Amino acid sequence: MIFIVSILLFNFYTWWRLRCAFLKGMAPWYSVALFAVVFFLALMPATCRLVFGRQATGWLADSCTVVMWTWCAWYFWFAAAFAVMDLWNLGMKLCGRPWGIHPFWEGVAGIAIVIVASVWGLVEASHIRYREVEIQSEKIPQSADGYRIALVTDIHLSPCLRRSIAEKAVDLIKTSKPDLLLNAGDFLDGAGRREQSMAQLFKGLAPQGSFSIIGNHEVYFGVKESEALHELGGFRVLRESGEEIGDWLYVHGVDDDALGNRYSMSPKKQGAVSYETTEVAEKCSKRFSILLKHRPEADDVARKQFDLMMAGHSHGGQLFPFTLLVKIKYPLGTGLYEFQEGLKMYTSPGTGTWGPPFRVFARPEVTLFKLKSLKPKA
């Protein structure tokens, strides 16, 4: 309810500032017409769900999805820009200075900011960074020195994701020549023909296999449908389970907490920890162990038991200034962090875009982990 009220307030504030900028003194029906347009766009997520259902496909549903998510970014930027300018005006008024911004120029500035942010966001979303991270451990044998693991996460195959972005991610993975490919969840937000075609681009990119997990958006879309699309992409989904690779590596994947929270029939119960077993603990003690978890939250068991955790979810905020708010929830930010217990956690900013097809000051990424052995050469 708080989320819905916040969205409506953002849209009302945007409408009010645009009205004050351009429609004040004009016939009332202009303001009414603008109000109707703004709140039609604000209610599009609920309208699309009612009209098309949760798993909508087809050109009309796809077009409406793109429009509604683009507007979500726009009203957020409008509201943020107007809030800063209104605070400036309030400060000038309290200080008795005549340097306030006229409502008309507030409107012009707001539109200019949204245009610049949109262009910047489209460009940044397509410029996927390739980043290499070196991980050293005595549990990595000399025979595996230089082992390469590629990580993608939060690709969000959907009507809003340009195919060129998926193709760029695949090209970077191929260039990195990984032995293993891991996906930390939120692979999709749709399963139409377009999404199926993009999923197949990821097939066969790593000789020792591709593994994925269920993120919160797979839960929202539908787990069974999501698993089918993962399989199209060549990923084996680790559902509260692990995989031994060779004689030295262990990868354990967990479902996102949204599954246990939303669906009582789920095998994952809220607060359950599938890796808190003697069997998994023994595997982690004998092998270099990786925990694949969607949210960058490591509990005590994970910190003591695993060597490396890979996560995503936060997108690094995706849209400035939302990037600042995300740091309140996830203060460790993106990148590599080492806990006192020994666990190294890498939080990726994500590879694709969720919702709005933009990224502003939150560049997407394909990450390659190079594993280095600390064991002395024989």
pLDDT for residue 212 = 97
pLDDT for residue 248 = 94
pLDDT for residue 3 = 78
pLDDT for residue 258 = 86
- Map out the domains of the chain as residue ranges: 2-124, 130-373
pLDDT for residue 378 = 64
Q: What's the pTM?
A: 0.91
Q: Which residue in the block uniquely carries the two structure tokens 């394909």? A: 366
Which regions of the chain are under pLDDT 50? 262-267
pLDDT for residue 263 = 45
CB atoms inside a 10 Å sphere around CB 53: 10
Q: For the chain, what's the residue count?
A: 378
H helices of the chain, in order, are: 2-22, 28-42, 44-52, 59-95, 103-126, 163-176, 193-199, 216-221, 223-232, 257-262, 278-286, 300-305, 322-329
Residue 114 sits at the vertex; the CA angle it makes with 110 and 117, to the nearest 5 degrees, is 135
CA 287 to chain centre: 30
SS3 string of 131-160?
EEEEEEECCCCHHHCCEEEEEECCCCECCC
pLDDT for residue 262 = 45
Query: What kind of architecture, by CATH, is found in domain 130-373?
Result: 4-Layer Sandwich (3.60)
User: pLDDT for 198-228, tens place per residue?
Assistant: 999 999 999 999 999 999 999 988 898 899 9
Burial of 327 (0-12, 13-18, 19+ CB in 10 A): middle
pLDDT for residue 266 = 46
